[in-house]
A and B are shown apart, each in its own frame.
Chain A
Amino acid sequence: MKPPAFEYRRPETLEEAVGLLAEHGDEARILAGGQSLVPLLSFRMARPGLLIDINRCLELDHIELDDGRLAMGSLTRHRSVERLAGLSDRCPVMMEAVRQIGHVAIRNRGTVGGSIAHADPAAEWPLLALVLDARFEVTSARGTRAIPAQEMFSSYLQTSIGTDEILTRLEFPLPPLRAGSAFVEIARRHGDFAMSGAAAVIDVEDGKVVDARVGLMSAALTPVRAAEAESILIGHEPTDDVLGRAAAAVDGAIAPLDDVHASAEYKRHLAQITTKRALTSARDRARGAG
C-alpha cells in the first residue's frame, strides 16, 4: 500500500504544466487533489513515470457565478463550491450533488477538474456535467479546444482528453430559476460510492414540462443521459403517472455491472427508484407547476 517510485514536478503556471505534458505526456499523470489518483498509486494500479503536481498552478483555482452560468478553474476544490455564496439559491442541484461527494476531508482536497478527468461513473461531477450540458476547455502546446460534456466520457475512467492535454476550465449553463431539480443517491453509508444515483431537472410552464433532463450514475461504464425518459416528460403534465413512466424508461439507457456492493440486477432496480425520487423532488420544486 505504498506508491511506486515516480519523478515529481511541481509547475507553478499552466504554461509550465503544458510544457511538461508536451514532453512527457505518455508517461505522465496530472496530480490535482489526489483523492482518486493516490489510492490508484498505492494499489499500484497506476504507475506513471512522472507526476505533474498542479496544486500550485493557482490560475486554475477560481470560480465565478453569474446569472446564467457558473464557470470554474479545474483546480477548484469541492469544498470551495460547497461554500460558494448564492449557489444554493441559483443552482440547488449542484449544491445537493457536491454535499454527497465523499466526506469533508475528501472535499477539502478533491478538485472538480480531477473528478471530471478521472471519469468515475459513480462520481457526482461527471453526471452533473452531463445533465447540465457543461462545456470543458482543455489546453495543450497545440492550443485550446472545447469539449462538450456529451463527448467527454468515452468509457470507464476514460475521457476524450488527450495525453498532452490538461483540463483547465469548466462552464455550467444554469437551468432557469423556476426549474426544479434534484440529485438523489443511494449508498450504504453517507459518503460511500453510490450504488445508484440520479439527477433530474424539470422546467414547467403552464402546467406542462418544457424541458427535462434525466441522468444516472453507477449505472454503466460512464454516466448516462436517459433521452427516452426525457422525451416522455416533455410536453406533458408532470403527474405521478408520467414520472413513473419516465423512470421506467431509464431501464433501456443503462447497463450496470456487478460489483462487491450490489449486483447488476439490484442496481437496475435501484436506478428506477433513484430516478423516480429525483423526478418527484424536481417536479415538486419546479415553480411553473401552476
Chain B
Amino acid sequence: MQEVLLSVNGSEVRAHIEPRLTLADFLRDVAGLTGTHLGCEHGVCGACTVLLDGESVRSCLLLAVQAEGREVTTIEGIAGPDGSLHPVQEAFTSHHALQCGFCTPGFIMTVLEYVNEGASPDEEEIRQRISGNLCRCTGYHNIVRAIRELAEGGS
C-alpha cells in the first residue's frame, strides 16, 4: 500500500492504495466520482478519458500513484460553480449528441481539450480528433455537429 495525494477537480484527495490501482478505479471507487466510465479497460474505447494537468489521458492506462501531485479533471469538475453546464455539455445537449450516455463523459473530456486548443470546423479533422472515443449507439453525426458548433462559435 502506498499513500498518495492528488488533486481531483480542485479538491485534494489522499488515500492509501495499491500501486496496481488504475486512476480510473481510483476516481470511481476511492474518490466516489462515478462519472468517469469504464468500457474496455485496456485503452481502446476512450470512455474513461480525463484531463491530467489539462491534457487528455485514458485513466485506465494510468496508475493512480502516477497522478501523485498532479491535477485531475473529470466530468464532475467542468460545470460552473452554480451548476450551469459547460459550453461543451450545452452543445452536446442541444445537438442530441448523446443517446445512452455511456461514452459521453469520455467524449466531453476529449472535446474539451480540443476546444481549448482551438477546434477546427473541418469535419474530417473533427472525426480524426474523436477517433479515439467509441460510441456504441453510433451517434457520431450529432457529436460532430455539436463540435462544429463549438468550433464555429469560438472562431
Question: Does B49 sit within 8 A of A, measured CB to CB?
Answer: yes
List of A residues within 8 angstroms of B22 by Cβ: 2-3, 38, 42
Inter-chain CA distance A265–B43, complex, in Å, is 29
User: Which residues 1-21 in B have Cβ within 8 Å of A in the complex?
Assistant: 2, 18-20
Inter-chain CA distance A3–B63, complex, in Å, is 10
Over the window 22-54 of chain B, the binary record of Cβ atoms lying under 8 Å from chain A Cβ atoms (1 yes, 0 no) is 100100000000000000111100100100100
Q: Could you say which of A1, A102, A105 has the most chain B C-beta atoms within 10 Å of its C-beta?
A: A105
State whether B19 touches A43 (Cβ < 8 A).
no
Inter-chain CA distance A41–B60, complex, in Å, is 11
State whether B58 touches A105 (Cβ < 8 A).
yes
Number of A-B contacts (CB under 8 A): 88
User: Which residues 165-191 in A have Cβ within 8 Å of B in the complex?
Assistant: 189-191
- Stretch among A5-13, A153-161, A273-281 lining the B interface: A5-13
Inter-chain CA distance A51–B21, complex, in Å, is 13
| B-side interface size class | 20 to 34
Question: Does A68 sit within 8 A of B, measured CB to CB?
Answer: no
A263, chain B: closest CB distance, angstroms: 22
* Interface residues of A, count at CB 8 A: 31
User: Which residues 7-64 in A have Cβ within 8 Å of B in the complex?
Assistant: 7-8, 10, 31, 34-35, 38-39, 41-43, 51, 53, 55
State whether A34 touches B62 (Cβ < 8 A).
yes
Question: Does A87 sit within 8 A of B, measured CB to CB?
Answer: no
Inter-chain CA distance A3–B110, complex, in Å, is 25
A271, chain B: closest CB distance, angstroms: 24
Question: Does A4 sit within 8 A of B, measured CB to CB?
Answer: yes
| In-complex Cβ contact of B132 among A7, A34, A104 (8 A) | A104
State whether B20 touches A2 (Cβ < 8 A).
yes
| In-complex Cβ contact of B56 among A31, A51, A108 (8 A) | A108
State whether B56 touches A8 (Cβ < 8 A).
no
Q: Which residue of A lies closest to B54 (CB)?
A: A108
Question: Does A208 sit within 8 A of B, measured CB to CB?
Answer: no
Inter-chain CA distance A85–B132, complex, in Å, is 25
Over the window 102-134 of chain A, the binary record of Cβ atoms lying under 8 Å from chain B Cβ atoms (1 yes, 0 no) is 111110110000000000000000000000000
Q: Known interface pairs A38-B61, A42-B41. Does A108 touch B55 (Cβ–Cβ under 8 Å)?
A: yes
Name 26 A/B residue pairs within 8 A (Cβ), A-sorted: A2-B20, A2-B41, A3-B20, A3-B22, A8-B19, A34-B62, A35-B61, A38-B22, A38-B42, A38-B61, A38-B63, A39-B42, A41-B20, A43-B42, A51-B19, A55-B66, A102-B132, A104-B110, A104-B113, A105-B46, A105-B56, A105-B110, A108-B55, A109-B61, A190-B127, A190-B128
Binding site for A on B (CB under 8 A): 2, 18-20, 22, 25, 40-43, 46, 49, 52, 55-58, 60-63, 65-66, 110, 113-114, 127-129, 131-132
